[in-house]
Structure 1
Amino acid sequence: MITERLALLIKVQKEREESLQAQFVRAQQLYLQAEQKYQGLANYRTEYIQQSLQQGSVGLGGRQFNQYVSFISKLDQALTQQGRVVQQSRNAAEQRRQSWLKMQTKRKGLEKLVEQAQAKTQLIADRQQQKLADEYASQRFYQRQQIAEQGG
């Protein structure tokens, strides 16, 4: 009866664990997407700076130079903002991973309890069966002894 309740609880825990695992996988995907976007922005910034340096080598007007500097500043702001998104998504993925692992540990603990309860039940059943076998053997021995005493 207890093992049946625990089995039901394990089933519920397993469903929760699968849900948490799916949440972790999704959070990990979001983190990787945010990281890719950050890398894309960083690469674009680097290319833009290289282009502006090449353009500057042939000559830039003051206004054009200010536009380059302004745009690079906006790229820096975007990188900073995306860096925060990356960090937040990394933290969220790690939190979900920890939740999933906790649930997994909980489920495994419950499964161990069920195994122990089943082993205890089996041990009791084995002892009862051995006791019955011993009683039967004793009765058979006693009956044979009675027959031998009567016959001989």
Structure 2
Amino acid sequence: MSSNKLAMLIRVQKEREEKLQAQFVKAQQQFQLAEQKYQGLANYRTEYIQQSMQQGAIGLGSRQYNQYVAFISKLDEALSQQGRVVQQSRNVAEQRRQSWLKMQTKRKALEKLVEQAQQREQLLQQRQQQKLADEYAAQRFYQQQLAEQY
């Protein structure tokens, strides 16, 4: 494969790599947002429990106590759901990161191939130039030998 074709492939790979990197960054941001929401819910739950304990110290009726318990159960369910969202977004971000890294590895391998092809081409040109120089020197030497004989 010529170095021009490989260079074009590298450009395509770079574009794909940039797209995958952008997808990874977006997935990472979504993961961080999901984690922030989870932490916000967890903090709110903790504050709500502390508030209910303070109210309990003052005295709570059974109806008010049941409302606190029911709301805490709803917060627990919301935390559980948000925990699943966090895990899913973490998995997506990791998959996108792996895809990006694979594409990066492919691009680097192609760049290495291009570099090797260029080195081979350069070596071939140097050999051809050396062969021409040797032939020229040999002809010159032969012409000098002929000129000395006559």
Q: TM-score range by the shorter chain?
A: over 0.9
SS in 2 for 1:60: coil
**Hey, what's the Cα distance between the residues in 1 that align with 2:6 and 2:110?**
7
Matched residue, 2:91? 91
Structure 1: where are the runs of 5+ without partners?
none
Matched residue, 1:125? 125
Structure 1 residue 3 displacement after superposition: 1.0
- Post-superposition CA distance 1:66-102 (Å, at most 9, x none): 0000000000000000000000000000000000000
Corresponding residue pairs, total: 150
Structure 2: where are the runs of 5+ without partners?
none
Matched residue, 2:56? 56
Q: CA RMSD in A?
A: 0.8
1:108-119 maps to which residues of 2 (within 5 A)?
108-119=108-119
Q: Percent identity?
A: 77
**Hey, what's the Cα distance between the residues in 2 that align with 1:3 and 1:144?**
43
Divergent runs of 4+, >4 A: none
- Post-superposition CA distance 1:112-140 (Å, at most 9, x none): 11111111111111000000001111111
**Hey, what's the Cα distance between the residues in 2 that align with 1:111 and 1:58?**
73
Structure 1 residue 6 displacement after superposition: 1.0
Structure 1 residue 144 displacement after superposition: 1.3
So what's the TM-score if we normalise by structure 2?
Answer: 0.98
Matched residue, 1:25? 25
So what's the TM-score if we normalise by structure 1?
Answer: 0.96
**Hey, what's the Cα distance between the residues in 2 that align with 1:8 and 1:136?**
39
**Hey, what's the Cα distance between the residues in 1 that align with 2:115 and 2:149?**
50
- Post-superposition CA distance 1:25-76 (Å, at most 9, x none): 0000000000000000000000000000011001000000000000000000
Matched residue, 2:100? 100
**Hey, what's the Cα distance between the residues in 2 that align with 1:124 and 1:53?**
84
Residues 111-120 or 26-35, more deviating: 111-120
**Hey, what's the Cα distance between the residues in 2 that align with 1:64 and 1:21?**
51
**Hey, what's the Cα distance between the residues in 1 that align with 2:2 and 2:130?**
25
Letter matched to residue 49 of structure 2: I
